[in-house]
Chain A
């Protein structure tokens, strides 16, 4: 058989493979989209849920006034929670711990990992400010006992203490512990623990719905060619690539 026949034959089967996907035109899809029933109040709830969970205290208060949406958590407790988060983010871990205990002493009692991470952050802050003696004392008295209880704590403790071995702390192998992102990580952990203790979901719903959209489109891609949203931030619908 000549080469061209073979190629044509292959093209044929490739074409039929791609056309075995159902094609949905732009018009059909727009009609489908229009038929979807969405309630404004559900969208407002979604936004409020985001503001509250992520800690936009003022924005949540304003949104409640401007949209009439009731927050699903008491805004007063939000202020306390944000004060804790802020304290960690600015490196005042001792202050943060006090505040958490004021809010609810059970939180740290029932969250040994969180408590360890907060203490670890305190150690990092002592090292950052060059207080070597204090740091060593703190590590030995507060962190070592916890390290003994738990293998993974011990490993993290060792990494943190190792920082003391370096003159130029910022550029050593564990330098990322001194990064502000470490503070943010710990702050986030505290935020989540407080929310959970208040019987609230620690993650906002919006990102999950966005991930569902991404997943749903990927799934649908296997069976159909249809107008897609490729950029979530613009929600622009792009014609099916046929």
Chain B
């Protein structure tokens, strides 16, 4: 949201930035669920010369049709898209239908612009496991003994484990070995044939794999889980964080019960009321009352109380908090099906916000509620939900906290301690992944927070 006009004066609290809750349900869904990552599903028939191999119509089989006489007539073929990176492991398998004359079959990974007349692993930035000698080829002449040879009837698999990262290969359901993955960038599953009558079929996951890839994934997850479990936490930290959350948002009744029950549960644990409570208990009773009023939809009382207790907040009648409260009053009229009153209110109190660019979009959305017969079912229906009242309640809470003359760090009235910790958690995971060539599984908070039932 860019400002055409200068931002409303004395608007120290950037309420639009503090919590993007003024987002509709679908918008949240979009950002919380990562974009679908494409996965290899068949062999690519476009990018190879096709001189030395023949791909079946279903694009899941390939046959060698060259002579296999020198180092430039390999029939290599890549998958239609590179291995996906937003996961812990990627894996695919081939079945050798016919090892042909010499069984010079290669399986591995190659970059996009690869010379497909070469085996994977011969040229730089590629990796391949070859069936005729059982060697691992790791680009530019690097090769070494790796595993058994493979031939007709064998199922061979190749995969990337992003946890290390490493390549790994399997034969007939058993792990053969692995090698460090030091190649960056998108990598295509590749299979290659190099002697007469060789033929393989490939499985990109449509059929179950011979190798238990799920077990490997589980193992990796478990490794991390165990390491995380070992980390040390001071025994009281969870209780402290919960307490400061309740204080921050003004859940006074809960806080009182929490304190009483804490005393009886762990009497030996002393609550450290030191630095952490700086400003947090400020205006607790007022904030609790204001929150209750908003949650009950009684915005008129909210205005009245704020004028009585903190008149400076509403001094600027085009401030963000003014906007949010007036918009919510309008919404409350609609919640009560009082359309005429709503229109009257909009004319009196909302029209002055139209010229200010930063409010324009939100104002439009709010007003558009009038256009629907059944606004609840519309795409702006989220405005009528209790969760939106909560957003406004949080905004009021933040603005009241901001009037505290003793508050040193402005971030303290925007974010509770818990929120700061969660942001740091996600930022760290995301940064770590970024430094890992953007590979590996992402941390998605909603998934972590999923309250599992029956999974102990």
Residues of A within 8 A of B (CB): 22, 24, 29, 32-34, 36-43, 45-47, 49-51, 54-59, 61-63, 65-68, 72, 196, 199-202, 204-220, 223-224, 226, 229, 232-235, 237
Contacts and interface: CB of A to CB of B under 8 A. Distances in A.
B423 A36 contact: yes
A40 B422 contact: no
Contact of A38 (B19, B390, B453, B456): B19
Contacts of B456: 196, 201-202
Interface in B423-456: 423-432, 435, 443, 445-446, 448-449, 451-456
B446 A68 contact: no
Contact of A233 (B417, B443, B449): B417
Contacts of A219: 428, 432
A11 to B, nearest CB: 26
Contact of A39 (B21, B426, B452): B21
A209 B32 contact: no
A22 B427 CA distance: 15
A201 B251 contact: no
B34 to A, nearest CB: 12
Given A32-B431, A66-B292, A212-B448, 4 more contacts: A32-B427, A39-B446, A42-B449, A233-B244
Contacts of A204: 238
Given A46-B418, A235-B420, A210 B238 contact: yes
Closest 10 CB pairs of A and B: A235-B420, A199-B454, A216-B428, A58-B257, A59-B258, A59-B257, A211-B231, A62-B254, A63-B254, A213-B425
Interface of B: 17, 19-21, 28, 31-32, 227-229, 231-234, 236-238, 240-242, 244-246, 249, 251-254, 256-258, 260-262, 265, 272, 275-276, 288, 291-292, 295, 386-387, 390-391, 394, 416-432, 435, 443, 445-446, 448-449, 451-456
Given A43-B418, A201-B451, A224-B431, A209 B425 contact: yes
A193 B20 CA distance: 39
A213 B241 CA distance: 14
A213 B238 contact: no
Nearest to B258: A59
Nearest to B288: A66
B451 A215 contact: no
Q: Which of A43, A51, A66 has the most CB of B within 10 A?
A: A66
B425 A212 contact: yes
A234 B418 contact: no
Contact of B430 (A32, A206, A208): A32
Contacts of A39: 21, 28, 446
A210 B390 contact: no
Given A68-B386, A232-B421, A59 B261 contact: yes
A190 to B, nearest CB: 14
Contacts of A234: 275-276, 417
A213 B421 contact: yes
Contacts of B260: 58
A57 B419 CA distance: 24
B455 to A, nearest CB: 7
Contacts of B430: 32
A38 B244 CA distance: 18
A212 B228 contact: yes
Contacts of A217: 424, 428
Contacts of B423: 33, 36, 38
B426 to A, nearest CB: 5
Nearest to B426: A36
Nearest to B421: A235
Nearest to A58: B257
Contact of A65 (B234, B253, B422): B253
Contacts of B252: 66
Residue with the greatest number of chain A CB neighbours at <10 A, chosen from B254, B386, B426, B446? B254
A213 B424 contact: yes
Contacts of B244: 233
Contact of A56 (B19, B261, B292, B451): B261
Residue in B244, B252, B261 whose Cβ sees the most chain A Cβ within 10 Å: B261
B261 A45 contact: no
Contact of B241 (A61, A211, A232): A232
B275 A29 contact: no
Nearest to A206: B238
Contact of A201 (B258, B424, B452): B452
Nearest to A202: B456
B265 A55 contact: yes
Nearest to B272: A233
A32 B424 CA distance: 9
A68 B251 contact: no
Nearest to A28: B431
Nearest to A66: B251
Contact of B233 (A24, A66, A201, A232): A232
Given A38-B445, A62-B257, A200-B453, A43 B422 contact: yes
Given A208-B228, A213-B424, A43 B258 contact: no
B260 to A, nearest CB: 7
Contact of B420 (A45, A47, A65, A229): A229
